Amino acid sequence: MINTDIIREKLENKKYLLGSHITGTDPQIAEIVGTYGVDYVWIDTEHTAMDKQTLLNHLIALRVSSTPAFVRIPWNAPTLAKPILDMGADGIIFPMIKTAEDARRAVSACLYPPDGIRGFGPRRATRFGLDNTMEYIQSDSKKIFKLLQIETREAVENIEEIARVPGVDVLVIGPMDLSGAYNKLAQTGDEEIQNVYRYVAKKAHEAHKPVLVSMGDYSCQGIRHWIEIGADMITVGNEPGYITDGLKTTLKNAAVVFEEYS
């Protein structure tokens, strides 16, 4: 059962979407984030210690709230995407897409023949046989989001061709790696880098593809900035950030009160 229809509907109606990252291993994280009402979650398996069983637990937890789950895999490889698709992920985020051929390879990994090369075995994806198999093959499986990360100079140079590849659903700006590609790692506010972000967003929109950004900053200023850049889907924060912000607030509040009673 794919939960992307409401995402597509909101995008078609020019609504902004909010997502949050999941990087830890406790499935209660996914349950909390999903229950609080974000539009989707980004589960990261590229830069985390998350294994497939942990990922599966997150997907199970998210089913409680029917929150769409997009999973970032470590590389653009069908062997990495296949088991995650069979677990019932609603989308795959493919990193380091550099060319139109890379984009076609990513799309192909998500589709069954004759449209792609995905092998058959969607046990959890079809709710263990409760959903009609042919309907899943011919319809539901095609609703899986293919999200392609633009993180290199080569990708920027090829952005028009990448954006036009059939089956690509969303183009993803990776602010940090893209800044590093221009030898300005972490200088995301640099004017040249800002113009690169704007260019990617412009070319994506010209091809009628929405733009997603992944970042840590969930302040009003940070979210507003990326909307002005051209992002349609704003993916912010993670549980370490939420915890540390909460702890900072707690310690600050306690210090004020303790001072009053000293």
Residues assigned a catalytic role: 47
String of DSSP letters for 9-28: HHHHTT--EEEEEE-SS-HH
CA atoms within 13 A on the CB side of 171: 37
List % helix, strand, coil for the chain (3-state, nearest 5). Answer: 50, 15, 35
The number of beta carbons lying within 10 Å of the beta carbon of residue 124 is: 17
Contact 74, 58 (CB under 8 A): no
Residue among 237, 160, 144, 254 nearest 204 (CA): 160
Tokens of 84: 């995650």
Backbone angles phi, psi at 40, to 5 degrees: -165, 165
Strand 233-236 relative to strand 69-72: parallel, antiparallel, unpaired? unpaired
* Residue where the block lists tokens 């985390």: 48
